[in-house]
Amino acid sequence: ILNVEQSPQSLHVQEGDSTNFTCSFPSSNFYALHWYRWETAKSPEALFVMTLNGDEKKKGRISATLNTKEGYSYLYIKGSQPEDSATYLCAPYSGNTPLVFGKGTRLSVIA
């Protein structure tokens, strides 16, 4: 089973703060890296699917970068809002197995 580490496990920030968290994965046999947002009482929803080293994706105030050579991805949220409160999951795809999800980073944004 692929070893996927997400840090921190949880995070509490004030409204308006910017924040970031990390996803680490094995750099060998890399095909793609997924980020999902999972709000309480809802289903996980995809944020980004990234494939290229150095790739940077953006959706509103959320952006992500990818380093496939060293096996990590950062997710950034600029000016956090209460509606950003959720668990953020990353999942690498290595080609020979389905996605392996990390345990996630739980973000709480305090108004």
Sites of contact with another protein (CB under 8 A): 1, 31-32, 34, 36, 42-46, 49, 51, 89, 93-95, 98-104
CB closer to another protein out of 33 and 77: 33
- Distances 85 to 81, 92, 111 between C-alpha atoms, Å: 8, 23, 11
- Provide the H-helix boundaries in 1-111: none
What is the nearest approach in angstroms of another protein to the Cβ of residue 37?
11
CB closer to another protein out of 42 and 70: 42
**DSSP class of residue 77?**
E
| Alpha-carbon dihedral sign for residues 69, 106, 81, 34 | positive
CB closer to another protein out of 1 and 111: 1
What is the nearest approach in angstroms of another protein to the Cβ of residue 88?
12
